[in-house]
Amino acid sequence: MKWIVCLLLPMAAAVCAEQVAEPNTVYVSKNEPKPLQLIVDAANPGDEIVVAPGVYNMGGRQVDQDGPATRLVVDKPLTIRSEAGANQTFLMGGPSTRCLYLTNGAEVIGFTISGGETCRVGPEGNKFKDLSGGGVWSEPGGTITDCMVVSNTALWYGGGMYGGTAMRCTFKENTARRSGGAASHARLGDCLLAYNRAGRFGGGAQRSELFNCTVAQNRAEIMGGGTSFGAAVNSIIQHNQALQTHHNYYSTEMTFSSSWPKPDGEGNIDGDPGFLNTDTGVFSLHYASPAIDHGTDTFLVADINGRPRVLDGNNNGHARVDMGAFEFAYPKADRPGDGTPDSAERAFE
């Protein structure tokens, strides 16, 4: 927030100086009577809001008095962080209610985002802004981090998320009636996309950029059970299904990634990715996975669980990043030589 401070000096014109509010940390307690939306609306740009564990399923509004109802509209650059993580902090949508809207510069960290749904607005509804992004609709500069995006629905694109960036997030059981079951028009790093569904293309992701993502057990009704019309680096796109053709990917540019059939592009491989247990939904890597130490350097410094990249997963003395969302730690390796096994290392706490 900005305001003007004016000093009235004798025999002189007023001298005015522009002042800028210092960022504050606002704590939302477990028994806070106000809906989270009112607290966000009262915050200043740059503030951090720390949210206690709980289920946040009340309040909300439209964005600029237009479009679908949204449980939490973050229309200023704020950081909203859960105190205890996604397993204990839930942002819930509802019938015809999206969970979250993010403007540029806004970040939400450590929430389960679930139960959101978009519906038609007026006779048509804008298919990109009103009917897409059942869980999250984000401007290009919005970010979710360390979140679980689960069981959201969009009538058009991006059942879990439309637009923005997701880092170290899990997308499960989201549905897009058109395309992009988990995500559409988004940028995803260190994310797991599993058990999502699309009515047309991209059961996992559509028109999105993927970096070190694992895309498995997703489904599309036409083509691209895993991904469609996007790009992927250091990613695993395997064990997906489409009812017509191109089970794993359709029109997706890949490098240093694992899929079947083997994609064109540098460093790509096919064959079994070596998940620990596909049948039970454990998509971390088995010690014999061909995806270990087979990627290329990117901007990512940690995997989906906060384990540092890069580790020497095959313990051959030449560490390289792994494909997929999970970095493998060789049980006896200590790459930094600091006395802490790689399996116990954390990039951050």
Look at phi and psi of residue 83 and say left if phi exceeds 0, alpha if psi is from -120 to 50, else beta.
Answer: alpha
Nearest to 136 by CA among 95, 178, 108, 177: 108
Judge whether residue 19 has pLDDT over 80: no
For residues 92-116, give the mean pLDDT.
97
Q: How would residue 120 be classed by pLDDT, with cut points 50, 70 and 90?
A: low
Q: Tell me if 229 sits within 8 A of 246, measured CB to CB.
A: no
Q: Tell me if 106 sits within 8 A of 127, measured CB to CB.
A: no
How many other CB atoms sit within 10 Å of the CB of residue 88?
15
Q: pTM for this structure?
A: 0.90
In the chain, % of residues over pLDDT 90: 78
Q: How would residue 83 be classed by pLDDT, with cut points 50, 70 and 90?
A: very high
The reported pLDDT for the residue numbered 7 is 35
Token couple for 203: 């059961």
3-state secondary structure of 157: strand
What is the residue type of 190? D
How does 303-319 read in b/e, with b if 16+ C-beta sit within 10 Å? bbebbbbbbbbbbeeeb
Q: Tell me if 218 sits within 8 A of 197, measured CB to CB.
A: yes
Q: Tell me if 237 sits within 8 A of 257, measured CB to CB.
A: yes
Q: Give the HSE-up count for residue 61: Cα atoms under 13 Å, Cβ half-sphere.
A: 13
Judge whether residue 15 has pLDDT over 50: no
The C-alpha angle with vertex 94 and arms to 93 and 98, in degrees rounded to 5, equals: 50
Least confident of 20-24, 180-184, 266-270: 20-24
Judge whether residue 2 has pLDDT over 60: no
3-state secondary structure of 50: strand
The reported pLDDT for the residue numbered 73 is 97
73 Cβ neighbours under 8 A, 6+ residues apart: 37, 40, 60, 61, 62, 63, 101
What is the residue type of 336? P
Output the DSSP codes for 57-118.
Answer: -S--EEETTEEEEEEEEE-SS-EEEESS-TTTEEEE-BTTEEEEEE-TT-EEES-EEE--B-
d(CA 199, CA 178): 5
Judge whether residue 69 has pLDDT over 60: yes
The reported pLDDT for the residue numbered 3 is 40
Q: How would residue 119 be classed by pLDDT, with cut points 50, 70 and 90?
A: confident
For residues 113-141, give the mean pLDDT.
85
Judge whether residue 76 has pLDDT over 60: yes
The reported pLDDT for the residue numbered 17 is 41
The C-alpha angle with vertex 232 and arms to 227 and 237, in degrees rounded to 5, equals: 50
Judge whether residue 4 has pLDDT over 70: no
The reported pLDDT for the residue numbered 13 is 41
Q: Tell me if 205 sits within 8 A of 186, measured CB to CB.
A: yes
Mean pLDDT rounded to a whole number for the chain = 90
Strands 249-255 and 282-285 come out as unpaired
Judge whether residue 1 has pLDDT over 60: no
The C-alpha angle with vertex 212 and arms to 208 and 214, in degrees rounded to 5, equals: 80
Instruction: Give me the domains of the chain, ranges plus CATH numbers.
Output: 24-178 (2.160.20.10)
The reported pLDDT for the residue numbered 21 is 59
Token couple for 170: 């899990």
The reported pLDDT for the residue numbered 177 is 94
d(CA 183, CA 251): 16
3-state secondary structure of 160: coil
For residues 330-343, give the mean pLDDT.
73
